[in-house]
Amino acid sequence: MSETIRVLITDDHPVFRQGLKGLLQALGVDVVGEAENGPDAVRLAAELQPDVVVMDLHMPGGNGIEATRTITRTSPRIGVLVLTMFRDDDSVFAAMRAGARGYLLKESGAEEIARAVRAVAAGEAIYGPEIARRVLTYFTDMPDPRRAAFPELTEREREVLGLIAQGRSNADIAGTLFLSQKTVRNHVSNIFMKLHVADRAQAIVVAREAGLGESTTRH
């Protein structure tokens, strides 16, 4: 970046603050202030308007999650980069929900921290490799809400229900899934029975409320 990045460091350990300050200054970053707890970070962020607040999470006298939430709400242009020892999912996702643009562990190398500060200052979101893997795993492992909505249905019955929700006829469903119309009628009857609906119109309402009917499944 052509302009100097202005950073506020928030951490309750003076030695760590000084080490991080020296690192960032050596890289041409302007450290405009230091805070040792959440309330101080909120006050100094409002006063100094830095580009980035480097935020620890667990500090005596006020935690970093609440401070992050307040800063990102009152000064949306300020980016918050979490730099902490805590790698658990609760801390990661609490910080994300609070508006943090980045999340690194304190064991990260100097180049990684510097790169993250620059990225957050530029408005990007950045996470350390381990945190990125945790986020990816979390979203990859999330259950399909459409499947969770109808655990009593078989996979084929869910496919048929999804097509019913699109307003497709039995003949269309049979052609799409390469089934006989008799087989489709049997599936439809089973679906009505399992979902306790009286007709196709009720089935469509129930299915669409659960998010089905958005796309066509082909095999």
Kindly report the CATH class assigned to 6-141.
alpha beta
The identity of residue 57, as a single letter, is L
Is residue 152 pLDDT above 60, yes or no? yes
Please tell me the predicted confidence (pLDDT) of residue 138: 66
Q: What is the pLDDT of residue 60?
A: 86
CATH of the domain spanning 145-210: 1.10.10.10
Could you check whether 6-141 and 145-210 share the same CATH topology?
no
Is the pLDDT confidence value at 123 over 70?
yes
At residue 185, the pLDDT reads 94
Q: Examine the pLDDT at 118 and tell me if it is beyond 80.
A: yes
CA distance linking residue 93 with residue 82, whole number of Å: 12
* Helical segments of the chain, H only: 14-26, 38-48, 64-74, 89-98, 110-121, 129-140, 145-149, 155-165, 170-177, 181-195, 200-209
What's the chain's Rg over C-alpha atoms? Answer: 26
Which three-class secondary structure state does DSSP give residue 77?
A: coil
The 8-class DSSP code of residue 51 comes to S
pLDDT digits (tens, 9 = 90+) for 126-147: 888 778 777 777 666 555 555 5
| pLDDT at residue 48 in the model | 97
Q: How confident is the model at residue 116 (pLDDT cuts 50, 70, 90)?
A: very high
Q: How far is CA 209 from CA 63, 88, 145, 191, in A?
A: 39, 34, 11, 16
pTM of the predicted protein model: 0.62
Closest by alpha carbon to 128, among 112, 142, 139, 147? 112
Mean pLDDT of 100-123: 92
> Where are the domains positioned within the chain?
6-141, 145-210
Whether the Cβ atoms of residue 112 and residue 103 lie closer than 8 Å to each other: no
